Amino acid sequence: MNTHITMKEMPESEQPVEKCFRYGPHVLSDAELLAVILRSGTKDLTALQLAQLFLSQRDKNLLNLASMKMEEMMDIPGIGRVKAVQLKCIVELSRRIARTSRVQNVKLNDPGSIASYYMETLRHEDREKLLVAMFDAKSVLLGDEIISVGTVNHSLVSPREIFLKALEYQAVHIVLLHNHPSGDPCPSEADKRVTKRVEDCGALMGIALADHIIIGDNKYISFRENGILR
């Protein structure tokens, strides 16, 4: 006897889409929110059950959306290429929404505001990424560029590339940011050597290195705040 119940056969009040429409998305559980995105399940699982299965993987919560690669998602029965792409797009949208809402609060003299702006972009990365944020004479954020992906090493990071970007944006100040996938933002000796090298080049070019911020798991360290940067 087949006891499988499709999403449409569930009581209307329990269907995530109807529930969301009537009461708002805030009343939905994590699994129900995912079920709305997934839309369909398999012949053996409803979309809600598939969402629950997804949430039971790896981190056992919504962080799976950020931490799992698309190939890992596709190992779950019922999640193919399209669903994996949809889930990753949700993560990227949430990051962009978070950044858009914070950009007006980014202040050059407030490392916390800069760290907050880039936190969701960098904290879940599984490899180190070094980027440079450019600011104008009024300390307004002009934009940012990724400089390197991989271990941040002073012999691999090119000040030339950093300052070519700064000149392209007509920046007066720059801030280096990179993440530590371990979650611990404490700077290494290599981090300090990179900072010193870029600081010295900036002094010669008249483009000040205002800070180097290392992003950990929802925490950061600012070289400026900690007196590592002159």
What's the topology of domain 109-222? Cytidine Deaminase; domain 2 (3.40.140)
pLDDT given for residue 1 in this prediction = 46
Is the pLDDT score of 14 beyond 70? no
Confidence of residue 100 (pLDDT cuts 50, 70, 90): confident
The residue extents of the domains of the chain are 7-99, 109-222
Token digits of residue 222: 């600012």
pLDDT at 63 over 50: yes
Q: What is the pTM of this model?
A: 0.68
Beta-carbon contacts of residue 153 (< 8 Å; ≥ 6 apart):
190, 194
Tokens matching residue 76: 């779950």
